[in-house]
Amino acid sequence: MKKGGKIALDQNMLTAKGSPEEETHLKMPRISIFGLGYVGTVYAAGFASKNIEVIGFDIDEKKLKLLASGISPIYEPGLSELVKDCVHRDLLKTVSTAEDAVLNSDVTFITVGTPSNSDGSIDLKYITETSRVIGEALKKKNRWHLVTVKSTVIPGTTEKVVKKIVEAASGKIAYKHFGLGVNPEFLREGSAVEDFMTPDRIVIGVNDEKSKVELERIYSGFSCLKLVTNISTAELIKYVNNAFLAAKVSFINMIANLCQKIPNCDVMAVAEGIGLDKRIGKHFLRAGAGWGGSCWLKDLNALTNFARKNGLTLPLIDATLQVNGMQPFVMVELARQLIGSLNNRRVAVLGLAFKPNTDDMREAISIKIVNMLLNEGAEVTVYDPAAINNAKEIFGDSVNYASSANNCIRNADCALIVTEWDEFKSLKPEDFVRHMRIPAVVDGRRIFIPQAFSSKLRFAAIGLGANEYFNPALAVNAIIVSDRKKILLVKRTIVPFNGLWSLPGGFVEYDETVEEALTREVEEETGLKIRPKQIFDVFSHPLRSPIKHAVTICYSADVLGGSLKSSNENLKARFFSANEIPSRLAFDHHEIVEKYMKSQREYWKRP
């Protein structure tokens, strides 16, 4: 028993002694990998890069050919180089029969897919077929061999399915003639090579000593903790790991939805606040449009299905799935809040892959969001730096495909950030203002700084608290009366993190009294002769300003041009004319602006 909370092997654990021939076999075991998908290819190249001889096998000949010629059949950062190098060094080979793979290796890893059945339960067809061919090959082998399941399988599968099939097909007995192990993977797409090289821990699930020793030998080059458990515990650890991570993300997404109801509250600050507690930890607390990918949904469904079959419910996992199901609605609702009905609106969706740095759209939240937008009657244009080809197979001609982010948002009425690609992080508010018909952005991945965006365009973000004083359509400047002699002219920018108002433009002291200054400006602007008192009647009410004497004056230049120069010249308050804003800023359907305009028109009609 080593340090670090290792779990002792249970009573099922047997000690099997190998033949003298095997005992002297001291060099690294040779490995065969069955299934050259995403996990199999990363492990094949990864083990080979650790100077272990690896043989890859797959029923897909195309994959075998690619790998044999030094090309990775899947895309993963750093993998191509690794594959090329290992094939070149003769450490990574492929064979076209299962028999060759088993007979020329000491340990076989099963890395085939475990998809879902329609009821959410795990579909074991690839596991059973692979177990059968391994068993048939083992029949011809005289030496002990270790069969290790790396695929994600429901507890009990290795013992009840894999073991039985291998025994039946080989005529041999587990833990005597061959060993069994479970060795779950925790690779994230997009950083799988890195995760392989520097794992947090390695879980070795075994019921016999010899299999344990063999797996520990394979992983001897890794410095992290190797946690040894029995087989069914290792099987469960993989599911619980994914379930916990998904629950963590859903938890913060649930809180994000609450933050949206609290003025000036931001889920990012909340996540930081709790993440600093070591018991919680800061990882996987990025709130967003929802989680996706090929594993979590499948694994959570398989786990709940397994629990149900055992007479249990897993309410926290049900809630995890439920919260994730809500996130696409939240995104669409935020878009609706910014521009009203989405019917016949042009909506740009930036990001389709389930996360950045992959073209994978399996269970991507973008699919649900796009379909909802289409149901709302929107005309949808999509862009993704990597996933467009996959998207075409999913959406067909129901959406427009853009070749760049700028093309995607061109003439759009609203843009939704769905995947946090670096390419999108460099977009500036000015880009949206310049290209869009209505500059309105829903940040579903919190890649933009709210202050920078909300002062220049209509902006909403997941988990960004509502600001009851903030109306994106009237992202304007304000004049705040400090006393009766001076006025402070501030940019009316809402700072959701720490307060109500920011003062990026500094302030201007007017020599005139407030009444005089404003009277003059309004007279100049409207050509009407007015009495100073009227100014305050006009300005102090419409936006329910938090500051008693605050007045709001729209800078159309600020909103349109996306920037407010801090020169005195530019800071001069300007009263907008009723016709100007709607036509120039396309606020035509905005109820609040309409109301405001109406009140303005009515006011000026008064005697």
Residue 422: CB partners within 8 Å, gap ≥ 6?
A: 356
Nearest to 578 by CA among 607, 560, 599: 599
Cβ at position 203, least distance to ligand UGA in Å: 11
Query: How many Cβ atoms are within 10 Å of 543's Cβ, its own excluded?
Result: 20
Query: How many Cβ atoms are within 10 Å of 387's Cβ, its own excluded?
Result: 23
Nearer to ligand UGA, 86 or 295 (CB): 295
Nearer to ligand UGA, 196 or 395 (CB): 196
Tokens of 94: 């492929």
Cβ at position 287, least distance to ligand UGA in Å: 7
Nearer to ligand UGA, 390 or 477 (CB): 390
Which amino acid is it at 371? N
Nearer to ligand UGA, 121 or 482 (CB): 121
Cβ at position 232, least distance to ligand UGA in Å: 18
Catalytic choice (86, 259, 265, 295): 295
How many Å apart are CA 416 and CA 518, to the nearest integer? 39
How many Å apart are CA 368 and CA 355, to the nearest integer? 15
- Print burial letters for 5-19: b (CB count within 10 Å at least 16), e (below 16): eeeebeeebeebeee
Nearer to ligand UGA, 195 or 430 (CB): 195
How many Å apart are CA 587 and CA 473, to the nearest integer? 7
Cβ at position 504, least distance to ligand UGA in Å: 31
Strand partners, 92: 54
Tokens of 244: 């916990």
Cβ at position 93, least distance to ligand UGA in Å: 25
Nearest to 504 by CA among 571, 549, 576, 458: 571
Cβ at position 290, least distance to ligand UGA in Å: 7
- Annotated active-site residue 295? The verdict is yes
Nearest to 265 by CA among 442, 467, 459: 467
Answer positive or negative: Cα dihedral of 207, 209, 210, 214: positive
| CA–centroid distance for 41 within its chain | 23
Would you tell me which residues interact with ligand UGA (CB under 6 A)?
185-189, 242, 245, 249, 284-286, 288, 291-293, 295-296, 354-355
3 state SS for 41-96: HHHHHHHHHCCCCEEEECCCHHHHHHHHCCCCCCCCCCHHHHHHHHHHCCCEEECC
Cβ at position 7, least distance to ligand UGA in Å: 20
Nearer to ligand UGA, 292 or 463 (CB): 292
Residue appearing with tokens 């853009």: 402
Nearer to ligand UGA, 106 or 443 (CB): 443
Which residues are annotated as catalytic?
295
